[in-house]
Chains A and B, each alone.
Chain A
Amino acid sequence: MLKYANPTNFLTLAAKLLPWLGAATAALFAFGLYLGFFVAPADAVQGEIFRIMYIHVPAAWLAMLGYVAMAGSALGTLVWRHPLADVAQKAAAPLGAAFTFVCLVTGSLWGKPTWGTWWVWDPRLTSVLVLFIMYLGLIALWQTIEDPGRAARAAAILTLVGIVNIPIIKFSVDWNSLHQGESVFRAGGSTIYPTMLWPLLVMAVAFTLLFVTLLIMSMRNEILRRRVRRLSLLAADLAR
């Protein structure tokens, strides 16, 4: 870990890893999508529409994993003051938000033909929406505080407060729906058959690899962006 406190070492590692990661992501996506769209049988109740599950469910997992990754980096920022943790935190926020958005949109597209509506105030939907808003709040915080170090520490505290609060929010939202008689949906109907499950697992790994690849790319960009910022500040200083 100490070695990569030097951003240059990280950039070298990223340059080595990225082609492999990108290739593995593309291959797994191709394989997973092929399995999901051509090999897996159509659902007995939902027909072909259920195939959106292969995008929707991995996106939902990654939406949560993104927050966990951010919280881990937040600890790295606050406890070890690791410079790379700052960068990872900042890079993970828009990625997590994007996966959450994909999850919400595909869920909505799935909901229209099967439930007959784009949106219901179902507990699961509501808590994912709150998660999405929390991501947006974090991104806004990153963008408003100018000094990168200060922004990192502020975002880290907010992320950790969030990780304490997410289970509470989930619990409250569940409680609310249970007692106000809203409809509770069950995904998919019966238990998933292996022919339907395997593509899902492949897609989950593909999504995770995509997340890691994008995270490393975005971290690299952030490091370069900070260098540009520092250089332009220096240049402005010299010009004065």
Chain B
Amino acid sequence: MRGALAALFWREIAIARRIGGAGALGLVFFLILVTIAPFAVGPDLALLARIGPALMWIGALLATLLGLDRLFQADQEDGSLDVLITCDVPLELVVATKCLAHWAMTGLPLVIASPLLGLMLAIDGVTLAAVALTLLVGTPALTFIGAIGAALTVSLRRGGLLMAILVLPFAVPILIFGTSAAAAAAGGSVPFATPFLVLCGLALFALAASPFAAAAALREIDA
């Protein structure tokens, strides 16, 4: 079973690398979001430093949603989703593996690039490390929560927008604790660990529970 999941993981990575280059595109999208923000709020470095962590979180949230609607749709169109549903490996693990691969191609590059973009927003070193750390914990949770939306809209032609509407309310807690932790690191009334540990807890819960909901949705809708 482990071999099958590993094969699935590398298949997903290979597809993501060869077709469309979702990972690189997400990164460019993140870059342009950070770039247009100073045009909107003005190039005031003090203001940018203050709202920078929040900007990066919103950017990461939107960049994660990008391409997520294709997570199961491409498989449904070419029929491989039926194979995945009927094979011996539990569908929950298949979903988790696909999410992990998707995160490795879209979320992970964002986390790695975030310190660089943070420098452009005049965020100081400690806060920058904190933002990167919260993104490292938060983005996998966003991908896993998004998988529920992707599974629910698997059979829809233009499911992307609907998926965003369905998923974003559920991303609110992650966003709140991610930005709170980043703000705490920048110097706040609470220590960094408090919101960060809650963020970790929420992320672990999302990682554990989402595959079940997404797998249930795939079974119910594709059947």
Q: Which of A145, A158, A172 contacts B173 (CB 8 A)?
A: A172
- For residue A179, CB closer than 8 A to chain B, the reply is yes
Whether the pair B169, A157 counts as a contact (CB closer than 8 A) is no
Interface centre among B209, B213, B220 (most CB of A within 10 A): B220
Report chain A residues within 8 Å CB of B170: 161-162, 165, 169
B164-188 CB contact bits vs A (8 Å, 1 = yes)?
0110111011001100100100001
Instruction: Place the interface of chain A in its size category.
Output: 20 to 34
Whether the pair A154, B220 counts as a contact (CB closer than 8 A) is yes
How many pairs of residues, A versus B, come closer than 8 Å at their CB atoms?
A: 84
A141-B152, A158-B166 known; A175 vs B217 contact (CB < 8 Å): no
- For residue B162, CB closer than 8 A to chain A, the reply is yes
Instruction: Place the interface of chain B in its size category.
Output: 20 to 34
Report chain B residues within 8 Å CB of A136: 165
A144-B156, A168-B173, A176-B176 known; A150 vs B165 contact (CB < 8 Å): no
Interface centre among A133, A154, A164, A168 (most CB of B within 10 A): A154
> How would you classify the secondary structure of chain A's contact residues: helix, strand, loop or mixed?
helix
Residues of A at under 8 Å CB distance from B? Answer: 78, 130, 133-134, 136-137, 140-141, 144-145, 150, 153-154, 156-158, 160-162, 164-165, 168-169, 171-173, 175-176, 179-180
Taking A134-B169, A153-B220, A154-B152 as known contacts, 5 extra A-B pairs with beta carbons closer than 8 A to each other, sorted by chain A number, are A137-B169, A141-B166, A157-B213, A169-B172, A173-B176
- Nearest 4 CB-CB pairs, A to B? A172-B173, A153-B220, A172-B176, A137-B166
